[in-house]
Amino acid sequence: MLQTLSTAWFSLPDYGRATVWILVITVALIISVALLTLVERKVIGWMQLRRGPNRVTIFGLFPGLGQPFADVVKLLMKEVIIPARANKFLFRLAPMITLIPAFAAWAVIPLSPEVVVSKADAGLLYLLSLTSMGVYGVIIAGWATNSKYAFLGAMRSAAQMVAYEIAMGFALVGVLMATRSMNLGTIVLSQSGGIGAWNWFWLFPLFVVYFISGVAETNRAPFDVAEGESEIVAGFHVEYSGMAFALFFLAEYANMILIAALTAVFFFGGWLSPFQGYPVIGDTFLGAPSFLWLGIKISVGLFMFLWFRATFPRYRYDQIMRLGWKALIPVTLVWIGVEMVLSVYKIGPWSH
Amino acid sequence: MLIEVLFYVFGTILVAAALGVIVSRNPVYSALSLVLCFVTSAAIWLLVEAEFLAVVLVLVYVGAVMVLFLFVVMMLDVNLEQLREGFTRFAWLGWLTALAVIVEIVGVVWARGGLGIDASKGGSALPADYSNTLELGRVMYTKYVYPFELAAVLLLVAIVAAIALTMRKRPGHKVQDISKQVAVNARDRVRIVKMESEKRS
């Protein structure tokens, strides 16, 4: 049985295998998003000494586990209301434009040593261009709604995303210098050699800048002024209801998982094991590279997102802009200069 | 075969979107059509295996330039009917520009032998380990390093000029002084007034 399956698998043409992987990754991503919403509510609940969702069960087990699925059913049943004076075509288009880049970016992410849909050489640039396309959904939604609050939210979020993209891009230039490749698989491989050889040590300021920019790019707390409910109701998606709102929601959480995965790939060695090359433990399965390690790293990154949301108060808008332009970008520029010195004297990742 | 079909599909979308830029009545639709133009041109570049150029086109024009452009267009309240009055007066200039561009393209592709590309055959498939990104980088930092650096300096000058133009002293120009904002005390802003409680009458 297993043998026939594996022969069938290897007799598939390349594009056939890629299609299967695309389907598997998409479905897995949607389920991860559903579970992430539950984990978020639970974790923030515990941090604030509450219980979080605990009513909907699956067959009477695991209190709260059924909550995301109940929410999906609820959103599906709701009516999608289109405001009378909204631009109907763009209003319907905006959620899709937000969702597509959030999922398409997964094409170049190496999930395990064997599994990657596309080994594109310009993978890093592809990711940057896709994350920058996500902003269109937000702007178009804000404009098409024909509401002041929505438009204010869209403008805030667009300015913020454009600002933080620059810091993000510069942080990735540093990664590029250390790994000498734009292919994500090569970036992971060049960090091999256990936890000390990963990029986070020599590129620590860039890691911090990248993660902060990632939080700002996804419009998450404490940078969620695009939906600041105390000032502009809910920002660009005020008028969206039912499944149209759910698509924005799905894209936001998919982007969170994406940022966590990218942080793992660029700074924490992707699917590499932290015990690689260690005397005893390195010879067991714990020393082998696998999806297990990437999964753990993504989960830790996602936990940081939730932790930020539970602890930090929201930034003021001008402070967000100042942080992006006057703090994060200079830090990355200085560190790129430091990297130049390191590479001349052949220290750290440049020593081999 | 597949590549040709894809080329014609993307080519049709590109031409339709380019027409949309100039034909549509709503300026926001024009800007969005331009975005579609860039994306489909990037797809066509991908078909000739120029992946680096394609991705950079999307990154720079779609991801940065057009976002700001769209931003401005959405905030302006353009009255297109007013703009369209006397629009045809400059038609001859438009035709002249179009003609010049066509002559240039024909001059490069056909008259000068097309940079060694045989236009009647289409591109040949490149070897599997060919990396467009690597080749471009190699040429850009060796053979064309001086033009490349010159372009960078030119862009830097443009950035400095743009900032200088917006930051100049002008009446009504407000700037935050961050250190003043941070150094402010509650005592300077709020005065607490003592008041004796009044007797109930």
At residue A338, does pLDDT exceed 60?
Answer: yes
At residue A128, does pLDDT exceed 60?
Answer: yes
Using a CB-CB cut-off of 8 Å, the residues of chain A touching B75 are 155
Contact B22, B33 (CB under 8 A): no
Among chain B residues, the shortest Cα distance to A124 is held by B55
pLDDT tens-digit series, residues A92-108? 888 888 889 889 888 88
pLDDT of residue B107: 81
At residue B154, does pLDDT exceed 90?
Answer: yes
At residue B197, does pLDDT exceed 60?
Answer: yes
Among chain A residues, the shortest Cα distance to B129 is held by A121
pLDDT of residue B111: 65
3 state SS of B6: helix
Tokens of A226: 């695009």
Q: Which of residues 114-133 of A touch B (CB under 8 A)?
A: 120-122, 125-126, 128-129, 132-133
Contact A289, A271 (CB under 8 A): yes
Contact A121 B68 (CB under 8 A): no
Contact B51 A139 (CB under 8 A): no
Q: HSE-up of A254 (CA within 13 Å, CB side)?
A: 24
In angstroms, the CA A89 to CA A82 distance is: 10
At residue A348, does pLDDT exceed 90?
Answer: no
pLDDT of residue A290: 80
pLDDT tens-digit series, residues B5-16? 888 999 999 999
In angstroms, the CA B62 to CA A125 distance is: 13
> How many CB pairs below 8 Å do chains A and B form together?
61
- The band of B1, judged by pLDDT with boundaries at 50, 70 and 90, is confident
3 state SS of B34: helix
Using a CB-CB cut-off of 8 Å, the residues of chain A touching B59 are 125, 128-129, 132
A138 reaches B (C-beta below 8 A) = no
At residue A207, does pLDDT exceed 60?
Answer: yes
Using a CB-CB cut-off of 8 Å, the residues of chain B touching A121 are 51, 131-134
Contact A162 B176 (CB under 8 A): no
At residue B113, does pLDDT exceed 70?
Answer: no
Three-state SS string over chain A comes to CHHHHHHHHHHCCHHHHHHHHHHHHHHHHHHHHHHHHHHHHHHHHHHCCCCCCCCCCECCECCCCCHHHHHHHHHHHCCCCCCCCCCHHHHHHHHHHHHHHHHHHHHHCCCCCCCCCCCCCCHHHHHHHHHHHHHHHHHHHHHHHCCHHHHHHHHHHHHHHHHHHHHHHHHHHHHHHHHCCCCHHHHHHCCCCCHHHCHHHHCHHHHHHHHHHHHHHCCCCCCCHHHCHHHHCCHHHCCCCHHHHHHHHHHHHHHHHHHHHHHHHHHCCCCCCCCCCCCCHHHCHHHCCCHHHHHHHHHHHHHHHHHHHHHCCCCCHHHHHHHHHHHHHHHHHHHHHHHHHHHHCCCHHHCC
At residue B117, does pLDDT exceed 80?
Answer: no
Using a CB-CB cut-off of 8 Å, the residues of chain B touching A133 are 58, 62-63
pLDDT tens-digit series, residues A249-271? 888 899 999 999 999 999 888 88
Beta bridge partners of A61: A58
- The band of B122, judged by pLDDT with boundaries at 50, 70 and 90, is low
pLDDT tens-digit series, residues B51-105? 888 888 888 888 888 888 888 888 776 666 666 666 677 788 888 999 999 988 8
B97 reaches A (C-beta below 8 A) = no
Among chain A residues, the shortest Cα distance to B64 is held by A162
pLDDT of residue B157: 95
Using a CB-CB cut-off of 8 Å, the residues of chain A touching B64 are 132, 162, 165
In angstroms, the CA A305 to CA B3 distance is: 43
Closest by CA to A118, choosing from B46, B3, B60, B97, is B46
Average pLDDT over residues A40-56: 87
Q: For residue A222, say if its preceding peptide bond is cis, omega within 30 degrees of 0.
A: yes
Among chain A residues, the shortest Cα distance to B29 is held by A90
pLDDT of residue B125: 61
Alpha-carbon dihedral sign for residues B176, B178, B182, B187: negative
**Does A88 or B132 have the greater pLDDT score?**
A88
Closest by CA to A142, choosing from A87, A100, A101, A99, is A87
A165 reaches B (C-beta below 8 A) = yes
Beta bridge partners of A58: A61
Using a CB-CB cut-off of 8 Å, the residues of chain B touching A165 are 63-64
Name which of B51, B67, B131 is nearest A135 (Cβ-Cβ). Answer: B67
pLDDT of residue A302: 92
Average pLDDT over residues A210-238: 81
Q: Which long-range contacts (CB under 8 A, 24 or more apart) does A322-327 make?
A: A322/B178, A323/A212, A324/A160, A324/A163, A324/A164, A324/A166, A324/A167, A324/A213, A324/A216, A325/A163
ipTM for the assembly? 0.79
Contact A46, A53 (CB under 8 A): no
Average pLDDT for chain A: 84
The DSSP 8-state label assigned to residue B155 in this structure reads H
- The band of B30, judged by pLDDT with boundaries at 50, 70 and 90, is confident
Share of chain A above pLDDT 90, in %: 11
Q: How far is A261 from chain B (nearest CA, A)?
A: 21
In angstroms, the CA A44 to CA A298 distance is: 18
Between helix A242-267 and helix A88-104 the angle, nearest 10°, is 30
Name which of B32, B55, B67 is nearest A162 (Cβ-Cβ). Answer: B67
At residue A160, does pLDDT exceed 80?
Answer: yes
pLDDT tens-digit series, residues B127-150? 666 777 778 888 888 888 999 999
B48 reaches A (C-beta below 8 A) = no
In angstroms, the CA A116 to CA A110 distance is: 5
Contact B59 A132 (CB under 8 A): yes
pLDDT of residue A300: 92
Contact B67 A139 (CB under 8 A): yes
Contact A32, A250 (CB under 8 A): no
pLDDT tens-digit series, residues A310-322? 888 888 888 888 8
Average pLDDT over residues A140-146: 86
Tokens of A167: 């810091």
Contact A125 B55 (CB under 8 A): yes
Q: List the Cα angle B115/B120/B125 in 5-degree steps.
A: 75
Q: How far is A302 from chain B (nearest CA, A)?
A: 26
At residue A335, does pLDDT exceed 60?
Answer: yes
Which of A211-225, B72-86, B148-162 is least confident? B72-86
pLDDT of residue B47: 84
Contact B49, B126 (CB under 8 A): yes
pLDDT of residue A276: 76
Phi, psi of A61 (to 5 degrees): -110, 165
